[in-house]
Structure 1
């Protein structure tokens, strides 16, 4: 047999082996194990390293929030996230919302490069390797709408005049793309923009009758609005095609009213407008003479559209924080202020002039032409500014103290409302107490919301800067741990931490943030 088993004997041995495992040849197959269920809380999938893959297989689209139990922004987002999940479930939408505790599932935070909380990632069609970063709103309606526009068409296809008019009448701002060829790549660009412009309704068409109805002869994106001039056209460049950035800016500028009233609902849009120059008219709208100024202010606005955003601030409507930011008191209104949002430089008109269309126009041209010098805020110097261990600085004494060549000066630039500033206040007081008898060391603080420094614009709170003794106006920024021990090591080592001390990134709270800040790991 040349060392080979007979076929019959081989089959008997195989059958015997199967019986030894409790399996009969030709008998019933073993039932496959039931697939694991992903746990849920309030309609939100709770994911782990083990269940993420399962969730991606079961759900075509998945929005995943990486959170930390201690994160304040995560806690604020939680009820809105749950509402959005309920809204989508009621619509039988195919998208699901999920969450991952990033502090417990460290392998997932590393896999998806999560460095701050909350971070949201959008997964489509089970693709684990290239999720989309979620940059949409943080309230329920916005989250749900962001997902809807990725689940289905982001714009309505219009076939006739009735459909077009119904869409235009449905919202205050409606955008319609008129394209002669719907296979053109410009249409894809248009639909991609529609996915994220959640505060506008979009439609598109290739119907000749609609081109004729709206007096169009070439591809054009038209913004229809129920205010100001009613319509704005963006012709598609025949050679270069539709540029996403140019169209986005056009829609953002023309979807805003020529004159915006500042309040809690409009402020996010004002800060997100990408119009760097803002002209503010401060009035008390309970007073008839102040109301009469609004017409002239609005009359001056059209030539500056896209270059200067005109804003009305009603001082009788809980806008004290805006007055404070500009160094104004309610009794000083009506008055104008101009600000460049990039440099934060502020400008004031000559005192005593009336607010008319002509004076507003002249003031804008003068600022834009560099004919008006910016002003800097400063509080009055308290008589006891140097009596406490922590010295009080204002704009008027900052240069004298910070650049005293005989002193090493450590300054905290803070905002009264900043939670991070409040958290470190005790450590800063302890530091000042510790070094109060060192004649060459000054521990100080400056309210950067009420005092502005031309040489040192402060964009985040708290900001800590060290000004070492000696000539040269040297400045060192402190970016490590905010506790007494580390502060002390920094001072004792001449404005730097010892080599063995690692630098630890600490969070900042930015003033005038147009989007909700995140918390770092």
Structure 2
């Protein structure tokens, strides 16, 4: 038994190292000669201490394992910008880590603009080689193309040259990094499909179901924009498989069922629940979007709804409406419960979920504390111009700013100005405030709270005072418009 465990561990470690070995490492001494050996190469310029690089490294290795077997093969390369690759990184204008660039036959071709996870890297890079639309010369070619990837395929069938074919090929060039395209002009292929001048979107085998057709035929005109709209509308079907690299495809209003979605290890179990979602989705397809997502991949989204861990196999259903408000289906999953939840959501009968700290019992300090539950009161409807800081408790820059904000609050105590702070990690941030880093500051004038302005000025007290004095709706009592203190009036 002990030897068996050792054997399994050896296999595991060998597999890990094999993946690492699929990523080539070049240095200043050999970069130009070795990158020229590859028709297409993706190069990651990195620094060993970089957190984002460490996060990307295993995804990059997984992608390399797949792409090295591609026809033609695509090389994934890494260059250490802190040691043996310094000159190469400088030559190619690397100023941040990781930086990814695509090279063709040794020459820089373009910046990499794709996803940063294995599946997305593979899909993006496969689209970089060969024609944007693969020509199919036999029925076997068509069948092989449709089965080659677990992804949507869009195929054009053209008996002769036409405006539709021209528009199709033009769109293939535009969307080659996102969609698999192929076309055929061969009679047996056209006869097999029963289309002489048309476009068909084929759904992958693992997503076939009884609630929608396995393929959809385009019925619009020879216009690239119309074909693209057709693809966008039908690409994910009634219930799409929402993943890290395609999550932005799914627009609100959206209902997502989170569970153990895994089409590699458990396709039957995955479709058991998806089919139940499909039955409901078919009834509401014109009013709301549906998707399924792997709960482990989207734990951060579950956290946004106050859900730390999903123990049961049944899906957890979460939703966002057109206003981006959040909703939780509280009843255990069933077809009836999901249908009722969707109907109530569309009818506006549900109470939105709001992640919020408790409202402070005492909020009389120099800086007012905002939480999600009192945000309207202390920010949007306070009748004052407002400078608000969105912070994170662990943020070093936020900690440095705290005493500055306290001093600013004291200076603005008798003014028609509110100085506010909010922990954006413990509270939902309402639109239109957009927080992507910490600290993020906004200025919200009292007469236009619906269009706050991001504060990009200095972080010292005087910087804030001058900004507020200049932009205040009414001139401050203690400062002129330039931020200079006004002389105190004395009685005669």
Does 1:61 find its partner at 2:44? no
Give the drift of 1:117: 4.4
**Does the 8 Å CA contact 1:281/1:334 hold for their aligned counterparts?**
yes
Out of 166, 190, 197, the position equivalent to 1:185 is 166
CA gap of 1:245–1:399, structure 2 versus 1, over 3 A, is same
Q: Aligned pair 1:393/2:370, yes or no? A: yes
* CA shift for structure 1 position 467: 5.5
Distance, in Å, in 1 between the alignment partners of 2:122 and 2:307 is: 41
Match of 1:258 in 2: 239
Aligned twin of 1:165 = 143
Consecutive unaligned residues of structure 2, counting only runs of 5 or more, are: 1-21, 262-270, 471-492
How far apart are residue 268 of structure 1 and its match? 1.7
Aligned to 2:255, which of 269, 279, 282?
279
Correspondences of 1:322-401 after superposition (within 5 Å): 322-326=301-305, 338-340=319-321, 343-346=323-326, 355-356=336-337, 359=340, 362-363=343-344, 365-366=346-347, 375=352, 377=354, 379=356, 381-386=358-363, 391-401=368-378
TM-score normalised by length of structure 2: 0.63
Please give the root-mean-square deviation of Cα atoms over the aligned residues, in Å: 5.3
- Tell me the equivalent position of 2:218: 235
Q: Aligned to 1:73, which of 48, 52, 58?
A: 52
> What pairs with 1:122-271 in structure 2 (closer than 5 Å)?
122-124=102-104, 131-140=109-118, 142-144=120-122, 146-153=124-131, 157-173=135-151, 175=153, 176-181=155-160, 184-186=165-167, 188-189=169-170, 191-192=172-173, 195-197=176-178, 203-226=182-205, 227-228=208-209, 229-235=212-218, 237=220, 239-240=222-223, 245-246=228-229, 248-250=231-233, 252-254=235-237, 258=239, 260=241, 266-268=242-244, 271=247
Q: Deviations over 1:116-172 (max 9, x none)?
A: 6434332435665xx333223324565455444433356654344344334445554
Q: 1:430 to 1:269 in 2, by over 3 A?
A: same
Deviation per residue, 1:225-282 (Å, 9 max, x gap): 322235222326454368563354145333xx6265xxxxx44256222433202468
User: CA distance change for structure 1 residues 306 and 72 in 2, over 3 Å: closer, same or farther?
Assistant: farther
Distance in 1 (alpha carbons) for counterparts of 2:176 and 2:160:
21
Correspondence list, 1:418-429, <5 A: 422-429=395-402
For the 8 Å contact 2:255–2:320, the answer to whether it is kept is yes
Asked if the contact 2:359/2:373 (under 8 Å) is kept, the reply is no
Match of 2:388 among 389, 401, 411: 411
Give the Cα–Cα distance (whole angstroms) in 2 for the partners of residues 242 and 383 of structure 1: 52
Equivalent residue for 1:301, pick from 246, 262, 281 = 281
**Bigger relative CO (Cα 8 Å, ≥ 6 apart):** 1
Q: Tell me which residue corresponds to 1:508.
A: none
Aligned equivalent of 1:44: 25
Separation in structure 2 between the aligned mates of residue 96 and residue 178 of structure 1, nearest angstrom:
35
8 A contact 1:220–1:235 mirrored in 2: yes
Shift of 1:187: 5.6
Conserved? CA contact 1:277–1:339, under 8 Å: yes
Matched residues in 1 for 2:96 and 2:88: separation? Answer: 14
The 3 A distance-change label for structure 1 pair 456 and 251 is: closer
1:223 CA displacement: 0.6
Q: Structure 1 residues 251, 182: closer, same or farther in 2, change over 3 A?
A: farther
Q: Distance in 2 between matches of 1:299 and 1:94?
A: 41
State whether residues 43 and 86 of structure 1, in contact with CA within 8 Å, keep that contact through their aligned partners in structure 2: no
For residue 493 of structure 1, give the secondary structure of its aligned residue in structure 2.
Answer: helix
SS in 2 for 1:310: strand
Among 426, 433, 436, the residue aligned to 1:460: 436
- Using structure 1 for the length normalisation, give the TM-score: 0.60
- 1:320 and 1:77 map into 2 onto residues whose CA distance is 19
Quick one: structure 1 residues 364 and 218, their matched pair in 2 at CA, closer, same or farther if it must change by over 3 Å? farther
Aligned mates of 1:173, 1:427 — CA distance in 2? 49
CA 1:88 to 1:177, structure 2 compared with 1: closer, same or farther past 3 Å?
A: same
SS at match of 2:53: helix
Pair 435,310 (structure 1): closer, same or farther in 2 beyond 3 Å? same
Q: How many residues align?
A: 421
Identify which range, 211-220 or 375-384, moves more after superposition.
375-384
| Partner Cα distance (1:104, 1:426) in 2 | 38
Q: Distance in 2 between matches of 1:292 and 1:384?
A: 49
**Larger gyration radius, structure 1 or structure 2:** 1
Unaligned stretches of 5+ residues in structure 1: 1-40, 261-265, 286-290, 498-521
Structure 2 residue 103 is matched with structure 1 residue 120: no
> Contact (CA 8 Å) 1:405, 1:471: kept in 2 or not?
no
State whether residues 61 and 124 of structure 1, in contact with CA within 8 Å, keep that contact through their aligned partners in structure 2. Answer: yes
